[in-house]
Chains A and B, each alone.
Chain A
Amino acid sequence: MPSEIKIQVNEQVHSVAADPDTPLLYVLMNDLQLQGPRFGCGLAQCGSCSVLLNGEEIRSCVTPVSAAAGKSVTTLEGLPAWYAKQKKLAKAPALHPVQQALIDEQAVQCGYCFNGMIIQAADLLSKTPQPTETQIRTAMNGHLCRCGSYPRVIKAIRRASRAMTAAMESGAAEELVAQGVHAAEVAR
């Protein structure tokens, strides 16, 4: 039976009336009207529905909403703010460096899989800031792309890694914010 469940998504606490067994994905899509996580297989095989749960990539299509209670969910929409908090930036950039790198590499085709791609890549770079190509392929292997965008995604993750490293080494958090401002201009 539906019950009142409190979940924290992108730093905001929401109260939803849902059966506790409802997969988190349906709550994020329909109750919270988020566009990042999306249905791909419902079987945890493809990565379309990925979100961060306490900073770890999970498949929201097989995670009951009750399992997210008391934890912090971050979706694609909240990724720049999550990144800023992690890196202790004064202000969230418009885009996470992985998102910006995917634009710079023009990596997208249909783009439906990119929610999961970006979430997983952000997870990877938060733990392994300078991954080798093999590490990238291994970390990303659970995410499918039917259009065949893998080569450009690999390039983009390397580009994002370089951008993040450069910004951190120069100690200039502002630089990343500036990068974000640039990204916002591109997005317009």
Chain B
Amino acid sequence: MSAAKSAPLLSQNLARREFLKAGGALVIGFSSAGAIGDALFAQDSTAARGAGGGPPDPKQIDTWLAIHSDNTATVYIGYVELGQGSTTSLLQVSAEELDLDMSQVSTVRLDTNITPNQGGTYSSSSIARGSPAIRTAAAEARQALLQMASKKLGAPVERLIVSKGVVTVGGMGGEAPSVTYGELIGDKLFNLAFSGTAPVKPVSDYKLVGTRPVRNDIPDKVSGKYVYLQHLRLPGMVHGRVVRPRGQTAYGSGAKVASLDENSIAHIPNARVVRKGDFVGVVAEREWDAVRAARDLKIAWDIPPVLPTSEGVYDAMRAEKTGDRVVLQRGDVDAAASGAAHVATGHYRGPYQAHAPFGPNGALADVKSDSALVICSTQDVYATRNTLAGILGLPPQKVRVQYYEGSGTYGHSCYDDVAQAAAILSQLVGKPVRLQFMRWDEHGWDLYGPAHVGELRAAADANGKIVAYQYDGWHHNWSAVETSAQLALGTPAAEWRDGAAQMVNPSDCGGMYDIANVRLVNHHVPGMNYLRGAWLRSPLDLSFSFASEQTIDDLARKAGVDAYEFRKRNITSDRWMGVLDAVAKASKWAETPRPPAAKLSNAKIVTGRGIGLGTHLTSYGGAVVEIEVNKDTGKVRVKRMYGAIDAGLAVNPAFIENQISGQLVQTASRMLLEEVKFNKTNVTSLDWNTYPILRFEECPEVTPIVVQRLDQKSTGAGEEVMAAAAGAIACAFFDATGVHMTEFPLTPKRVLAALHRA
């Protein structure tokens, strides 16, 4: 059985054909044993697909879909499946427009020789950016199929009815002539320009979109049949491991090999050291031999002690000469604040946090003198291909990158770094290489969500109306060069340019409230000699919301107004009001009034609740959180979380509920436990003990709510309730204790210190 055959999401036939036609290496999942070389598709007119380097022309219908003789369709999607269910949602959209059943549509894994380039899978964009192209391409293909059917059946298009890919002439009862899509075009190319002009179905006609078909990857994921990246093997390959300092060193200052003793692994059969510059790896026939060779290799590093340390990072960033940019300026904050009845100010800190995929990233590479195949879990196959081509010295068209799902990644984890490392190893040893990072590689050499300092000033009038809001944010940008390229080629460290990376986010920082006077300033800290940074699910939003929503609560308290009521007074958007009301209602907020802060309990264990709003770039998130604080131990427990997302038209509300549920739990983890620790030379958070995450015993009960908006375009739902939940946790802590936490995570030590100071 081929690897492709094992995963039901993917069209077996096409995936198999690509390997045959493109001269791609035979990729095998564990259960594989059988023949791949059958001639089933030899006469297939679309067999040329995948023969050369992509991307295929987005202006051709054939780029987006193919109809097969058996009356099924393959839809080519440029977004990767990460366990969110978005692939199934996009299939729902295409089946809807084509009038096919869900069982008749499938897709293939992303592949730079086959799938269209829709950009990377980030910013929760799969449905928002992916569905319009796929919807209109499907509509246009249907239009073309109906014209073919019209000729074949001798009836005008207007009289044709389609159900499950069977076209029938309407109004003729049981005698009506019919033809299937498969009979009309089966496995032949449309050869049709994609004009984007075919009318799409009105929402009122939807039969599939908005419903809850189940994810078809789940049965194989629970049975063990699902092929993850980590399961793949290539014929003739060796196993590789990288050898790096334990815990990353300062970005920009790097690490240099001081000494290396190749004889130190002489006792391990068939293991050898592979080195290029300061990039060091080992390869061996057997995986365990590679693992212990990496462990036993005697190597010393020169590491400059220039990191600011996890404790000192905030003061260091605040003291830097920064590149400042006014993100938003409206009215006059100073004037409005100076005469206001209530003013709230604060200084808040959020730590570096790790993606920490549960299974470390891996990659397979087969680099030849004139071409390369790299299989990895990148969220952007084309960007990864272009970078790899540069590293390997090959034209991009000669590098083929294929995506296989690995463990959830939540943003830019080490997937590109590991792909580069595998490719470098393969090029040096002249064989296919399978590389998986060890736990300490993944935790220690991640591109973390950057640390952040936020300083706020907000003011409200005597009626509880917010009149001024200023947010100043300090953080460095995302790192543009992966560790493997730095070590092997000496590529200088660089950051993403301002504007291309996340800055102070107007959507989170006061954007949900109607405020006449606003000033948002992004203070870009130069990222050299800090840690590597990249986008981590809901980038920086948890830090923004932690600061902003506590400030809003502070104003509410000073104005003597309930936190929910105060927010309602300052919102006019029905979208924001929708999610706010949804969580307030679900949590019975109004029915359970809380005592004012002055009457807080003196008990050892106190409870509190908080309400918060936030998002990432699109959509609307609201959350209510109930917590318990043990004032003797400093232990905070999140007991219950309610989260609502309005993501416009929810193609599959069930998937969004699952996403909300996961986001709430992950937010509790990040707010209570997660912080990357580092000293002057290295990161010291290297595993689940030194970087703990939330476990079963501490897991809150969660209530996910999808606010369905059939009349609005679909927007993101993979990260848009995390900021709201982060703010709500902080506000709940204040509700319980009367104390603001100015730094997260809310660890016992930090909580006790805050309670002691108060």
Interface residues of A (CB under 8 A from B): 2, 18-19, 22-23, 26, 29-30, 33-36, 38-43, 45-46, 48, 75-77, 95, 99, 102-103, 106, 108-115, 118, 136-138, 140-154, 183, 186-187
Contacts and interface: CB of A to CB of B under 8 A. Distances in A.
B704 to A, nearest CB: 9
Counting from the closest, the 7 A-B pairs by CB-CB distance are A148-B665, A110-B83, A110-B408, A111-B221, A112-B407, A33-B30, A148-B662
Contacts of A141: 695-697
22 contacts: A35-B225, A35-B226, A39-B360, A43-B688, A46-B358, A48-B358, A99-B222, A103-B214, A103-B219, A103-B222, A106-B658, A108-B217, A109-B84, A115-B224, A146-B356, A146-B357, A146-B666, A147-B83, A148-B661, A148-B662, A151-B700, A183-B219
A142 to B, nearest CB: 8
Nearest to A47: B358
Interface stretch (B34-42, B283-291, B345-353): B283-291
A186 B220 CA distance: 10
B30 A110 contact: no
Contacts of B288: 18-19, 22-23, 26
B214 A106 contact: yes
Instruction: Decide if the interface of chain B is mainly helix, strand, loop or mixed.
Output: loop
Given A33-B31, A140-B696, A146-B693, A151 B665 contact: yes
B384 interface: no
Interface of B: 29-31, 82-84, 214-215, 217-228, 230-231, 269, 286-288, 291, 356-360, 405-408, 410, 436, 438-439, 654, 658, 661-666, 669, 687-689, 693-697, 699-702
Given A30-B286, A35-B231, A146-B358, A45 B697 contact: no
B439 A43 contact: yes
B662 A149 contact: yes
Contacts of A42: 291, 438-439
Contact of A46 (B226, B269, B688): B688
Contact of A187 (B219, B358, B661, B669): B219
A38 B697 contact: no
A120 to B, nearest CB: 10
B408 A150 contact: no
B230 A187 contact: no
A23 B289 CA distance: 11
A38 B228 CA distance: 10
B56 to A, nearest CB: 28
B408 A109 contact: yes
A1 to B, nearest CB: 8
A16 to B, nearest CB: 11
A170 B700 CA distance: 35
A144 B226 contact: no
Nearest to B268: A19
A145 B405 CA distance: 16
A23 B665 CA distance: 32
Contact of A43 (B214, B407, B687, B695): B687
Contacts of A149: 661-662, 665
Given A35-B30, A35-B225, A144 B359 contact: no
B418 to A, nearest CB: 13
B79 to A, nearest CB: 15
Given A109-B84, A152-B658, 16 more contacts: A18-B288, A22-B288, A26-B288, A39-B230, A41-B439, A41-B688, A46-B358, A48-B358, A99-B223, A111-B83, A112-B357, A146-B410, A147-B408, A148-B661, A148-B665, A151-B665
